[in-house]
């Protein structure tokens, strides 16, 4: 099973991670998407006391209970994210409108003959467990403890998948980005490239602090210290190491890096000192009220363009897909045994991948080639990014099955003009995809017969 997925399907599938399993933080979807109700049964019991139909969508009802449960779930989500929700009246209006949209879309999915089989629901359940750092069995226990009916939970997962597949079929084919659009975008970015707000820069600093009441002798001594540090930096010593060793700034633990941000969010003094530097260049001593600064221009790019230098990872994996003949637990045990055998030198990763992996990369010993950030599904990439070269992960469950990953190497690479244009094309496609999705939602809503009855309470 290929690891790469479209941005729309990835965004829709990731909503499964947003279930409030006890204190688990919610993860928002990239676009508006239906969410699974996870309000405990005790709370739902009180809501049912005032149940009645509030809206009919193409002959299917939405009840006061449906709205109230979803409002309560969304309020829980705001609380977990420590955000202030809209007032109850506005939140209820938003929730009702979303439920209407979802109802109309589900009806269209069924009319279109889209179906979701049980193994797909099983995989979705595994994704929920993975994002909540639980096994499937632990997830089911948590759900039961919260008084949620397991059948209802799986039905709602099925609905999520129905809507995902409907959107993939209805929305993605509408989006195309032409070469002309890419060229026009690049020209616009080039025309606006000199505006500080359109530039992203990352500066690292080494600060030799000067006390407020320092004497001339003290200032001279501190300036000499800063000058020696500057000479070491220009001689080729690692700037981050020097910053950690010598800097008096709080950011020294991060090698002095202040972070990639719009240029207009840096002090003018820093911008003036680095304006003529090439990436990697080091300024002379810069005097401020805090002391003597040495500045290094770490990165500089147009805010509307992808970075010219990115970190690529080359990994290999072994994929086992659970099914009737192989349970998830058995797949994990098998991969754990592979890991042990590789680490003890009994065999090598490539051999086991060729013999066992249920993936197209098996013939290459599991080698996935050089990958850009965002090229793999998030659950796979998150584990891969934590590995050091040569390190082998614990078995990982993704939406495709159970993986064993070995990071082979990493490198910083400069994008070619063609690669940068393709990344721009993907950026534009994502933007157009969002717009197409919103238009599609409005169109489905407009074609639905919606009868508003009583306002929800």
- pLDDT score for 196: 65
Cβ count near 34 (within 10 Å): 22
Say what the pTM is.
0.56
Helices within 81-117 (DSSP H only)? 88-111
Length of the chain (residues): 457
In angstroms, rounded to a whole number, what is the distance separating the alpha carbons of residues 277 and 296?
9
Q: Could you give the angle at which helices 417-447 and 150-170 cross, rounded to 10 degrees?
A: 110
Q: In 150-233, where do the E strands start and end?
A: 199-209
Are 389 and 407 in contact, with CB atoms under 8 Å apart? yes
Beta carbons of 86 and 94 less than 8 angstroms apart:
yes
- pLDDT of amino acid 122: 82
Residue located via tokens 């979802």: 102
Tell me the C-alpha distance between 14 and 398, whole Å: 11
Cα dihedral: 358, 374, 411, 319 (round 10): -10
Expressed in angstroms, the distance from the first to the final Cα of the chain is 47
pLDDT of residue 445: 92
Closest among 422, 403, 413 to 310, alpha carbons compared = 413
> DSSP character for 407?
E
What is the structure's pLDDT at 427?
Answer: 83
What tens-digit pLDDT sequence spans the chain (457 residues)? 334 433 333 333 333 333 333 222 222 333 333 344 455 554 454 444 568 999 999 999 999 999 998 898 889 888 888 888 888 999 999 999 999 999 999 999 999 998 888 877 887 787 787 667 778 888 888 888 877 788 888 888 999 889 988 988 898 888 889 999 988 888 887 777 666 667 888 999 999 999 999 999 999 999 999 999 999 999 999 998 899 899 999 888 888 989 888 888 899 999 999 988 988 899 999 999 999 999 999 988 877 777 777 888 999 999 999 888 888 788 989 999 999 999 999 999 999 999 999 999 999 999 999 988 878 877 788 889 888 899 999 888 777 888 999 999 998 887 787 888 888 888 888 889 889 999 999 999 999 999 999 888 8
**CA atoms within 13 Å, Cβ hemisphere of 72:** 18
Percent of the chain with pLDDT over 70: 88
Query: What pLDDT score was predicted for residue 50?
Result: 61
pLDDT for 408 equals: 95
User: Is residue 274 exposed (0-12), middle (13-18) or buried (19+ Cβ within 10 Å)?
Assistant: buried
Domains of the chain: 7-170+445-452 (1.10.4030.10), 195-302 (3.10.50.40), 309-414 (3.10.50.40)
Q: What is the pLDDT of residue 222?
A: 95
């Amino acid at each position: 099973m290929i690891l790469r997925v479209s941005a729309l399907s990835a965004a829709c599938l990731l909503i499964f991670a947003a279930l409030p399993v006890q204190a688990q933080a919610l993860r928002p979807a990239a676009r508006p998407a239906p969410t699974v109700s996870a309000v405990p049964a005790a709370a739902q019991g009180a809501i049912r006391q005032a149940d009645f139909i509030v809206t009919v969508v193409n002959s299917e009802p939405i009840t006061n209970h449906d709205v109230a449960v979803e409002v309560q779930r969304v309020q829980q989500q705001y609380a977990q994210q420590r955000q202030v929700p809209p007032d109850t009246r506005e939140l209820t209006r938003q929730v009702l409108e979303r439920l209407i949209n979802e109802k109309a879309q589900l009806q269209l999915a069924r009319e279109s003959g889209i179906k979701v089989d049980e193994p797909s629901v099983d995989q979705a359940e595994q994704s929920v467990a993975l994002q909540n750092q639980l096994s499937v069995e632990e997830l089911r226990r948590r759900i039961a403890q919260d008084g949620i009916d397991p059948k209802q939970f799986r039905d709602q997962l099925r609905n999520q998948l129905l809507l995902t597949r409907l959107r993939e079929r209805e929305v993605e084919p509408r989006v195309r980005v032409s070469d002309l659009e890419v060229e026009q975008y690049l020209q616009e970015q080039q025309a606006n490239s000199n505006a500080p707000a359109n530039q992203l820069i990352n500066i690292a600093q080494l600060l030799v602090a000067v006390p407020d009441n320092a004497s001339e002798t003290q200032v001279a001594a501190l300036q000499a210290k800063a000058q020696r540090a500057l000479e070491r930096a220009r001689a080729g010593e690692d700037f981050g190491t020097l910053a950690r060793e010598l800097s008096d700034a709080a950011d020294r633990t991060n090698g002095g890096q202040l972070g990639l941000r719009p240029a207009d969010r840096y002090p003018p003094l820093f911008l003036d000192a680095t304006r003529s530097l090439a990436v990697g260049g080091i300024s002379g001593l810069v005097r401020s009220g805090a002391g003597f600064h040495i500045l290094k221009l770490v990165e500089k790019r147009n805010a509307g363009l992808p970075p010219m230098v990115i970190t690529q990872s080359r990994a290999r994996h072994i994929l086992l897909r659970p099914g009737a003949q192989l349970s998830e637990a058995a797949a994990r045990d098998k991969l754990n045994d592979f890991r042990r055998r590789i680490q003890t030198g009994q065999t090598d990763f490539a051999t086991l991948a060729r013999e066992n992996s249920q993936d197209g990369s098996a013939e290459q010993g599991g080698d996935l080639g050089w990958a850009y950030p965002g090229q793999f599904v998030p659950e796979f990439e998150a584990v891969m990014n934590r590995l050091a070269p040569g390190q082998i992960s614990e078995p990982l469950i993704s939406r495709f099955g159970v993986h064993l990953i070995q990071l082979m190497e990493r490198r910083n690479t400069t994008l070619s003009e063609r690669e940068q244009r393709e990344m721009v094309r993907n950026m534009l496609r994502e933007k157009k995809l969002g717009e197409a999705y919103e238009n599609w939602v409005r169109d489905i809503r407009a074609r639905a017969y919606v009868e508003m009855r009583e306002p929800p309470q």
